[in-house]
Amino acid sequence: MLKFRKLKIKTKLILVVLLTSTIGLVLSGAGVIAYDRVKQKEILAEELSILARVIAERSAAALSFRDKPRAQDNLASLLVRDSIQVACMYDSSGAVFAEARRQDQSRFTCPGKPQENGEYFSQSSLEVYQAIRLNGLPIGSVLVLTDLKDLDYRLRRQMLASLGVLALSLLIAFLMTRRLQRAIYGPIVQLGNAAKKITEHNNFSIRAHKLNDDEIGDAIDAFNAMLGKIEQDKEELTRLAYYDPLTRLANRRMFSERLVFALENARRSGEQMGLIFLDLDKFKNINDELGHDIGDLLLKATAKRLETAIPETATAFRLGGDEFTVLQVGATEKSMTETAERILQAFGEPLILAGRQLSISSSIGIAISDGHDNVSSIMKSADVALYRAKDAGRSNYKFFHQA
């Protein structure tokens, strides 16, 4: 199954057509042959039953008068039919009274005792027993034994004919599929090529060409419509993916990517990078007392002040709620101290929001890394420093130092 998945579409189409055709033809052919075999057995059994009945009626007098030559002549008349190998006549005691067999046939003999009236098939022969009656009373029986070589020969011919039909049908199906597969898989391949070009060149102006007015054509129309929408909204999607819609700062997703890049750059260049975690003191109280609208305005104002306070080598992010971070490259403890003090100074000025004057402050945690930390450890370090700053009071910052 895994190898089938790796095949090309045109190959899969050919295999599916040939496989389904083969299964259908084999099942139908096997059904026809099996049904014909059963019917031919029924016909053969009926024919031999008629012959046995005729011989039994003709042999009643010969058996009653113990006329063995006449009985043998009656049985020998059956050998005119090529498939009949042995004909036997039994008396009332079940002993063989007369028999007739082909000279070249030694493997078929008269059974020691006759069976009840009826037809008995074995793998290679058919035995038909018929009672001999005189004045309505049984005085013996006749056995006609024939091989099934005619039926077997017919079966072999049917199988050869079926195989010929199967081969011819598969050849026709293969040729037709080869001609039709382009119309089926061509648009799919063309659609895949268009998607591949879009991915390689990041160009959403590329369009797939519609070749057929079918389900694949509808899919191509939908694909092109999607490309048009993506092309129109690409800038908006990028903004939504990487920027916080409220504060317009870069969001958690961009922060995660930038943090990984900053750690790798610090490890390669030997320069340190600094990470600041900060949140607003008592922001929850402002939200609860003044409402979320005022809280949102406060977060917007905080984001603007934060961006103006940090140096060009730093980038501000909003992680969510009142949690903000700052990444600073080429960091030293001195430069990070200066950044933290500028942030505290920017937050020190009161804010006028919706006619109300609000004072805000922030707790700041700082961690510095030479690039040998991972994302989890550097964030944990900055978070520990933040809680140390909270414990020390508002408008405060703390560095993380390994104990």
- Contact (CB, 8 A) for 290 and 301: no
CA distances, 226 to each of 185, 222, 233, 279 (Å): 22, 6, 10, 41
Look up tokens 């067999």; give the residue.
101
Residue type, 286: I
- Contact (CB, 8 A) for 400 and 381: yes
Number of structural domains found in the chain: 2
DSSP class of residue 271 equals: -
**Residues 322, 370, 373, 383: which is the catalytic one?**
322
Q: What is the pLDDT of residue 312?
A: 93
| Strand 137-147 versus strand 125-134 pairing type | antiparallel
The dihedrals phi and psi of 401, each to the nearest 5 degrees, come to -125, 130
Q: What is the pLDDT of residue 402?
A: 67
Helices (H), 273-372: 283-290, 292-309, 333-348
Looking at 153, 182, 212, the residue that finishes a domain is 153
Same domain, 269 and 393: yes
| Strand 362-369 versus strand 314-320 pairing type | unpaired
- Domain of 309 in residue numbering reads as 252-399
Looking at 95, 118, 153, the residue that finishes a domain is 153
Instruction: For residue 59, give every residue at least 6 positions away whose Cβ sits within 8 Å of its Cβ, in sequence order, or none.
Output: 70, 71, 74, 75, 89, 132, 142
Q: What is the pLDDT of residue 97?
A: 92
| Strand 396-399 versus strand 362-369 pairing type | parallel
Return per-residue pLDDT of the chain as tens, 403 residues. 556 666 776 677 777 777 887 888 888 888 888 888 889 989 989 999 999 999 999 999 888 989 999 999 999 898 888 888 899 999 999 999 999 988 775 678 888 889 999 999 988 889 999 999 988 899 999 999 998 888 888 888 888 888 888 888 878 877 777 766 666 666 777 777 777 887 777 776 777 777 666 777 777 777 777 777 777 777 777 778 899 999 999 999 999 999 999 999 999 998 999 999 998 887 888 777 788 888 888 899 899 999 999 999 999 999 988 899 999 999 999 999 999 999 999 988 887 776 777 788 889 999 999 988 999 999 999 999 999 998 888 789 999 986 5
CATH number of the domain residue 114 falls in: 3.30.450.20
Residue 287, in any domain of the structure: yes
Same domain, 264 and 395: yes
What's the angle, vertex CA 136, arms to CA 135 and CA 142, rounded to 5? Answer: 100
3-state secondary structure of 279: strand
CATH number of the domain residue 353 falls in: 3.30.70.270
Residue 58, in any domain of the structure: yes
Instruction: Give the CA count within 13 Å in the CB-facing half-sphere of 347.
Output: 26
Query: Does the annotation mark 322 as catalytic?
Result: yes
Residue 225, in any domain of the structure: no
Residue 11, in any domain of the structure: yes
Residue 270, in any domain of the structure: yes
Q: How many residues in total does the chain contain?
A: 403
Same domain, 144 and 256: no
CB burial of 159-195 (b: ≥16 within 10 Å; e: otherwise) equals: eeebeeebeeebeebeeebeeebeeebebeebbeebe
Which tokens hold the place of 349? 């000025």
Same domain, 145 and 274: no
Residue 186, in any domain of the structure: no
Residue 216, in any domain of the structure: no
Which tokens hold the place of 312? 């060009």
Same domain, 138 and 261: no
Residue 240, in any domain of the structure: no
Looking at 95, 121, 153, the residue that finishes a domain is 153
Same domain, 138 and 256: no
Q: What is the pLDDT of residue 335?
A: 94
